[in-house]
Chain A
Amino acid sequence: AQKVTQAQTEISVVEKEDVTLDCVYETRDTTYYLFWYKQPPSGELVFLIRRNSFDEQNEISGRYSWNFQKSTSSFNFTITASQVVDSAVYFCAVGGHNFNKFYFGSGTKLNVKP
């Protein structure tokens, strides 16, 4: 079965600090997808990134970067120079080649203080 562990329940940082959100996944599928979503205090869900299991290249998008390491089954998310607007709950998820097996982690609440 798929499973996602986000061990950090809540993290607090001061603006401009870098922060890494951890995500460890379990899957028996050889083809799978990894996702990160953001849920700001307003409550909506925002898709951030998707990675497939064959692409281990790290990705950078502005202040956001993602580190996918198949050897440790991890897909960590780093925010560089955090801002107050980054305050949100971040969810990691893993899915198979279709959505019959799709699981979210429990989320990490990030508080960025001015």
Chain B
Amino acid sequence: DSGVTQTPKHLITATGQRVTLRCSPRSGDLSVYWYQQSLDQGLQFLIQYYNGEERAKGNILERFSAQQFPDLHSELNLSSLELGDSALYFCASSDTGAPSDTQYFGPGTRLTVL
């Protein structure tokens, strides 16, 4: 158990809808990362937050947004969903947010868009 929790585990929704994925980092970790793993695109880094502020941005679509709250949990919002957004979404956390950190991954949220 990495100490990172993600909810929900599974999510099934329809095209055009909006969903919110939630991540709670390990106790003491200030940085949260979001990744997407799909059959088409493979594993991709989406976005990183550190202590509430966006620190780095990867291949995140404009339809997607994220935030990190004062209690350090993070939410990834996906809107106007398309079939291609079906994927496994991982959250990870680390203490300082530096590339030299060890990242701890949550179990993932599997999103299915029908």
Contacts and interface: CB of A to CB of B under 8 A. Distances in A.
A99 B105 contact: no
Interface residues of A, number: 21
Interface residues of B, number: 24
Interface in B81-113: 88, 90, 92, 99-100, 102-108
B3 interface: no
A44 B105 contact: yes
B105 A45 contact: yes
Contact of A104 (B2, B44, B55): B44
Given A45-B90, A99-B45, A99-B58, A33 B99 contact: yes
Nearest to B103: A47
Interface in B39-70: 42-45, 48, 55-58
Interface stretch (A57-65, A76-84, A90-98): A90-98
Nearest to B31: A99
A109 to B, nearest CB: 13
Interface string A20-48: 00000000000001000000000111110
Contacts of B55: 98-99
A100 interface: yes
Given A50-B100, A52-B100, A100-B58, A106 B105 contact: no
Nearest to B33: A99
A11 to B, nearest CB: 18
A104 B35 CA distance: 11
Contacts of A47: 102-105
Q: Return the 7 tightest CB-CB contacts between A and B, nearest first.
A: A99-B56, A104-B43, A45-B105, A102-B45, A33-B99, A100-B56, A99-B48
Interface of B: 2, 33, 35, 42-45, 48, 55-58, 88, 90, 92, 99-100, 102-108
